[in-house]
Structure 1
């Protein structure tokens, strides 16, 4: 395997590298520059020639220090890795939002039901941290301040809400919200919107 390759074996390679901390994104099955860098790092640590490509020796060494990836590892729910949940997220129904990992986990009694990537407000319009609850919901809403669409909005602190963001979907982390928690996966947030009830807990933490 080398740069430009695309196969399910590449997906497995990425998942195995992720298990041991060399690859930090969801497996894509495409062997690009980030995969090559991850392979080089693995080779360097194991005293192998740093080619950035996977030969028989590199593959056998990787198999020896990893396990067969699960279906969830091969196709995880979020691009960003979930971190350890905040203790406040372990009981009840909680939208557990981590600024460090830039993820949202919809949790029920400590179990992650769904997970997705999120982004936050800028320095001028920061997303508030703390423990809140969903005050109200609106499936089809437009910001009265900024006149931007906020589909599947779940308001938790004044005008701040978790909602789908077409801008996040298009621009990624090159942009920011006005304080809301933006989600870029419309299908996932629509599903969670249908499950979350007014009064459910929201935890925003580092």
Structure 2
């Protein structure tokens, strides 16, 4: 995540410090690939998600639609195949949409802490609440991949750096708000559904990261729970 030079955090949780360049800046745009004629194991589910005729048969139009989705979200190989990764992203989107404006319906994120940022790893969603009142969100986020999981539990924001720059890769990581060693909220220039995930930080769009910056401050609580799919 960058050079944590202040507030005694130098040696803590370097997971976020070691994010590869592509995860910070965003992967290069996928190149055009030849479309496959093969129907994938999730053909019908993918067709339904994309509003295509649901017949389970791969057509040229199906492939182009699937490929466009893969290119948009950095899914490889981007050959229009309805495989498990592509369907996994779509299925997660469906589950996120189903949450609506009630992300804490199960009561997992504490409501007795006042202002708190919640992160549901299972659904890859985050929001800010004040007691039981929803303040902002929920919004999709991109958390740590297998082997670099975003750590769960109750934490506090201890350092904020609006123009943070990684001392490992010398790349910008705007609106960084560190809450657990090298793990932080910050913006990235890539899809929130880009697999397999970050190296521990909670990635956000620029719009979301700016809003979190305006709503949170040092000392505010952060609660991370659940388990990211694939970890």
> Shared topology, TM-score over 0.5?
yes
TM-score, with structure 1 as normaliser:
0.57
1:183–1:79: structure 2 CA closer, same or farther, 3 Å change rule? Answer: farther
Contact 2:118-2:222 within 8 A present in 1 as well: yes
2:130 matched residue in structure 1: 108
1:183 matched residue in structure 2: 204
Shift of 1:192: 2.1
Unmatched segments (≥5 aa) in structure 2: 1-46, 55-95, 227-231
Confirm or deny that 1:99 pairs with 2:121: yes
1:22-70: CA deviations, max 9, x gaps? xxxxxxxxxx732759x9xxxxxxxxxxxxxxxxxxxxxxxxxxxxxxx
Shift of 1:83: 5.1
Shift of 1:145: 3.2
Count residues in correspondence.
134
Matched ranges for 1:41-120 at <5 A: 81=99, 82=103, 84=105, 85-115=107-137, 116-120=139-143
| Partner Cα separation in structure 2 for residue 190 and residue 95 of structure 1 | 14
1:165 matched residue in structure 2: 188
| Partner Cα separation in structure 2 for residue 79 and residue 153 of structure 1 | 27
TM-score, with structure 2 as normaliser:
0.51
Contact 1:83-1:101 within 8 A present in 2 as well: no
1:121-150: CA deviations, max 9, x gaps? 122222111100000111111222344432
Q: Which has the higher contact order (CA 8 A, sep 6+)?
A: 2
| Partner Cα separation in structure 1 for residue 225 and residue 155 of structure 2 | 11
Compute the RMSD of aligned alpha carbons. 2.6
1:145–1:199: structure 2 CA closer, same or farther, 3 Å change rule? Answer: same
Contact 1:94-1:202 within 8 A present in 2 as well: yes
| Partner Cα separation in structure 2 for residue 34 and residue 189 of structure 1 | 28
2:49 matched residue in structure 1: 34
Who wins on radius of gyration, i.e. which is larger? 1
| Partner Cα separation in structure 2 for residue 159 and residue 83 of structure 1 | 26
Segments ≥4 residues shifted beyond 6 Å: none
Which of 176, 179, 194 is the equivalent residue of 1:156? 179
Unmatched segments (≥5 aa) in structure 1: 1-31, 40-77
